[in-house]
Structure 1
Amino acid sequence: MPLFTSAGVGSGLDLESIISSTLQATNQPKQAQFQRQESRYETELSALGAVKSALSKFDDVVNKLSDSDLFDKRVANLTQPESGDLISFSSTDNSTNGSFDVEVIALAQGSRALSANGAFSSSEQVINTTESTLSFAAGDKSFDLTIAANSTLEDIRQQINDSADNFGVTANIINTGTEAKLVFNSNVTGTGNDLSVTNDNAELDALSTQAFGGGAGGMSIAAEDQASDAQIKIDGIVATNDSNTFTDVIQGSTITALKKSENNETTQVDIARDREGVRKLIDEFVSAYNGVVDIMDKATAFDASSGNSAPLNGDSLVRGLKNQMVNVLTSNVEGAGDFSNLFDIGLSLNEDGKLEKNNLVRSVDEAMDQDFNAFGKIFSNESGIASRFESLMDNYIESRGAITFREESLNQNLDRLEEDRLDHDYRMQQMEARLREKYSGLDVMLAQMQSTQSFLSAQLGNLPGFGGKE
């Protein structure tokens, strides 16, 4: 607070110390009270924030466990031959459990067209003298190119490859030293999907598979370069497809052929429920639950030796949350076969109130072996453990949850505390002003009295018989 005057100058008394001591005697207890209140509110907020964060992590896990698709998911394990990967494999929830041996008999291929011998002397040879159209088709795909007059073989090659409408035709020129060979490669696979190249100008016949006037053009497709189907054999049954991707050949799955089998080698495919994924999520559930317990224990602890209490010691909100979480854990679930609760599927609570992945009856793995569907329903049923925990978490951590409401209340208390501090500072300023006004009057009066005393002493000293004068 600012000092308005230098009190005591007139009287010589240490009035500044008197004012300062009076102000401190009033201010210091109040500031200490403000500090205690602020510290209490902030430590409670911090503790609630830690609890809320742990609950949010736990809520993320139970949201995953509430999804029945998690327990329907299939995964495929592949055992590839030593020569390398024959196939890739993906499964869906509709895949059927089982083991299969897959052999790749042939990969699908697109067609390849090659120009006739001696058709082109070099890549710079001019092909056409008038503007013309070259048309490409394979299967149900096609595109047209307008070829400018006096285009060279190289010009046409670039125009084909750069066309925005090109569905997958690549043009290349191979210079043999005596001539230029034009090669078209089409990526449209499947038997009967050979590349067809036509034109509207006989000058382009050498670049076409069909001549303008009818008959064969100068580009030909050898038997071994024709478009063909992919073939795979699954447990001795042959499947054919116009591409290397086979969908639902094994129901609910997709097989992609990568290379042809050598010496009838196969890839072994084993499709089963995603037990590993479920096991991992159960581990996350146990860890997240125990994390909440750890945080709540720390926030409510009491140290008997020192008498110190944690910020939420004895807090009814946290105590109620603990009890409700235990109630959900120990509740029974209907419609889960021979299982009724978490403890039937291999979980248990230890003496510290924490979850463990074992009990005296069975392990989690044994429960999954016994009835995987029923195992999943303990969590994912409409009234399952995960659904109940979701509802409980909503009551505490959502926008109108109990913890959120409590945080808002504490923040409001901090705002009010700041207002109280400002009000107190104003009152202290007014008090200082009053003290200075009061003591400045005293200072003036004492100064006047001291001046009068000095004057009287001087006058009396000049009288005969006073002050030693005769």
Structure 2
Amino acid sequence: MALTATGIGSGLDISNIVKVLVDAEKIPKEAIFNRTEQSIDAKVSAMGTLKSELAKFQDALEKLQSGDELNQRTVSTGDSSYLTAEASKSAQAGSYNIQVEQLAKQHKVAGINVADPALPVGDGSLQFSVNGSDFTVALDGTESLEDIAGKINNASDNVGVTATVITSDAGSRLVFTSDKSGLDNQITVTATDTSGTGLNDMFNGANLSTLQNADNAILHIDGQQVTSQSNEVKNAILGVSLNLTDADLSKTTTLKIEQDDAAVKENVKGFVESYNALMEAIDKVSSYDSEKKTAAALQGDSMIRSLESQLRGIVSERVSVDGNSSALYELGIETDRYGKMSINDTKLDSAIADNMASIEMVFSTAGTGLANRFDDIIKGYAKTGGLIDDRKNAYTADKQRLDDQRDAFKLKMEQLEARLFKQFNAMDLIVGQLNQQSAGIVSGLNSLPGVVQQQN
């Protein structure tokens, strides 16, 4: 009869013996799996940290890549209600007195009023002409005022006319407005009837009313008259866009343009701080602590060494344009032997005030400017499908292989445990049978005649 519980025959704790034997093989291997997994997770985290710092550095570089962003201007118009202004880097510092005599206006014309805007007008066409260009809308005699407005506004060849229906105490009428202001953009409407006179009666001759005359904007800059088709006046002052908002020739607005030194310095400071943060992040994920004898997650990684080498190499480069050249240290941006940048405020303030062209050249020159060079390098690492993504994909593959190894090892340990239980249970059964046989022999001997049981 087979035993149904382990250890009954032999008296041994078979379950514990099997556990100890299995653990002796399993625990060291699982420790290796855990260390490997922790190493992979640490590398993934380090790559995430690196990519985040690269993105922050790119944000700082973006403000230096374009001369327009770096070489900024401050514009002041006081509390003027007559105009606002914007200035590009080409605008020269200065002060200008401006009077707005007249705002530019759009031409508006309208047909006659009708009592019921839903009734059809006529069969034929309406031709619109604006500034030498024209387009025609065909009508079949079934369209209401709203339908006609829709056909005009949706015409693919519309040259700049917006139609709308206005309903007043006098009735409803179609109003046509030029999309652009100025005398050059007046609207001409020609109505042609195929049958009847409905379109002519509404839009031709005296039936077409002028609601607003087209006008050019007129302003005076330091006493010099400027005429503009639009209320947005560009480059009347080089590099300056004026947006006219009201007109009164007796009122003067003083426009002041100055170089925005504070914004330039803030952008350069942001570059230095972001560069240092990036280099610190690189050092943190790739260094070795000799005291604790521990290596960072990416210590010895060739990709990290290459990135750091490229970044440090660019810092010391000179940028040349048309025979002129300059470098960061000449602008007051210094680098120590550890690769960390610092700003010499006196030198940087002097460069901003007296040599802004050199700052723009060093950072913003197309192709060779340092901001563009740094950005090109970082894109190779941080872009989608770049080197960092490739490395993360490799870590993902390593993690999958590790999971597969774990599963295979788990199955192996389950098979080992089952085999040991089978072997020990077989031994236990044999030992139990031997014990039973031994007990039977002793009992038989004790029952023989003349055998006296020894008393203890």
TM-score, length basis structure 2: 0.76
Q: Which of 358, 361, 366 is 2:350 aligned to?
A: 366
1:328 is matched with 314
1:231-310 to structure 2, matched below 5 A, reads 231-251=218-238, 253-261=240-248, 263-266=250-253, 268=255, 270=257, 278-299=264-285, 300=287, 302=289, 304=291, 307=292, 309=294
What is the CA-CA distance between 1:18 and the residue it aligns to?
Answer: 1.7
Q: Describe the superposition over 1:10-36 as per-residue Cα deviations: whole angstroms up to 9, x where unpaired.
A: 333322222222112222222223222
Kept in 2, the 8 Å contact 1:199–1:205? The answer is yes
| Counterpart residue type for residue 356 of structure 2 | F
- Alignment pair present for 1:435 and 2:420: yes
- Alignment pair present for 1:346 and 2:329: no
- Alignment pair present for 1:87 and 2:100: no
1:102 is matched with 98
1:52-91 to structure 2, matched below 5 A, reads 52-62=51-61, 65-67=64-66, 70-71=69-70, 75=73, 77-82=75-80, 84=81, 86-90=82-86
SS in 2 for 1:102: strand
Moved more, 334-343 or 288-297: 334-343
SS in 2 for 1:435: helix
What is the CA-CA distance between 1:443 and the residue it aligns to?
Answer: 1.3
Structure 2 Cα separation of the partners of residues 355 and 237 of structure 1: 50
Structure 2 Cα separation of the partners of residues 280 and 62 of structure 1: 12
1:110-189 to structure 2, matched below 5 A, reads 110-111=106-107, 123=115, 131-133=122-124, 135=126, 137=128, 139=130, 140-141=133-134, 144=137, 146=139, 148=141, 156=145, 158-159=146-147, 161-165=149-153, 167-175=161-169, 184=175, 186-187=177-178, 189=181
Structure 1 Cα separation of the partners of residues 398 and 174 of structure 2: 81
SS in 2 for 1:168: strand
What is the CA-CA distance between 1:345 and the residue it aligns to?
Answer: 0.7
Kept in 1, the 8 Å contact 2:110–2:203? The answer is no
Kept in 1, the 8 Å contact 2:75–2:87? The answer is no
- Alignment pair present for 1:39 and 2:38: yes
Structure 2 Cα separation of the partners of residues 409 and 131 of structure 1: 73
Q: Describe the superposition over 1:443-466 as per-residue Cα deviations: whole angstroms up to 9, x where unpaired.
A: 122111112123223323432233
- Alignment pair present for 1:50 and 2:67: no
Aligned residue pairs, count: 436
Moved more, 139-148 or 14-23: 139-148
Structure 2 Cα separation of the partners of residues 340 and 205 of structure 1: 72
Structure 1 Cα separation of the partners of residues 148 and 405 of structure 2: 80
What is the CA-CA distance between 1:190 and the residue it aligns to?
Answer: 3.4
Alpha-carbon spacing, 1:308–1:208, altered in 2? closer, same or farther (3 Å): same
In structure 1, list runs of 5 or more residues that go unmatched.
Answer: 211-216
2:27 is matched with 28
SS in 2 for 1:57: helix
| Counterpart residue type for residue 284 of structure 2 | K
1:213 is matched with none
Alpha-carbon spacing, 1:430–1:389, altered in 2? closer, same or farther (3 Å): same
CA RMSD of aligned residues (A): 4.3
Moved more, 369-378 or 387-396: 387-396
Kept in 2, the 8 Å contact 1:346–1:364? The answer is yes
What is the CA-CA distance between 1:50 and the residue it aligns to?
Answer: 1.7
Q: Which of 376, 380, 394 is 2:360 aligned to?
A: 376
Structure 2 Cα separation of the partners of residues 387 and 203 of structure 1: 65
Structure 1 Cα separation of the partners of residues 174 and 36 of structure 2: 85
Structure 1 Cα separation of the partners of residues 403 and 108 of structure 2: 82
Alpha-carbon spacing, 1:333–1:110, altered in 2? closer, same or farther (3 Å): closer
The answer to which structure has the higher strand fraction is: 2
What is the CA-CA distance between 1:191 and the residue it aligns to?
Answer: 3.5
| Counterpart residue type for residue 16 of structure 2 | S
Structure 1 Cα separation of the partners of residues 310 and 203 of structure 2: 79
| Counterpart residue type for residue 239 of structure 1 | V
Structure 2 Cα separation of the partners of residues 93 and 114 of structure 1: 45
Structure 1 Cα separation of the partners of residues 16 and 210 of structure 2: 111
Alpha-carbon spacing, 1:236–1:408, altered in 2? closer, same or farther (3 Å): same
1:209-228 to structure 2, matched below 5 A, reads 209-210=204-205, 217-221=206-210, 225-228=212-215
| Counterpart residue type for residue 100 of structure 2 | V
1:463 is matched with 448
1:386 is matched with 371
In structure 2, list runs of 5 or more residues that go unmatched.
Answer: 155-160
Structure 1 Cα separation of the partners of residues 371 and 215 of structure 2: 52
2:439 is matched with 454
Structure 2 Cα separation of the partners of residues 205 and 397 of structure 1: 66
- Alignment pair present for 1:445 and 2:443: no
Structure 2 Cα separation of the partners of residues 403 and 220 of structure 1: 68
1:207 is matched with 202
Kept in 1, the 8 Å contact 2:68–2:88? The answer is no
| Counterpart residue type for residue 429 of structure 1 | E
What is the CA-CA distance between 1:97 and the residue it aligns to?
Answer: 6.0
- Alignment pair present for 1:191 and 2:183: yes
Alpha-carbon spacing, 1:267–1:183, altered in 2? closer, same or farther (3 Å): farther
2:157 is matched with none
What is the CA-CA distance between 1:232 and the residue it aligns to?
Answer: 2.1
Structure 1 Cα separation of the partners of residues 43 and 439 of structure 2: 66
What is the CA-CA distance between 1:38 and the residue it aligns to?
Answer: 2.4
Give % identity.
23
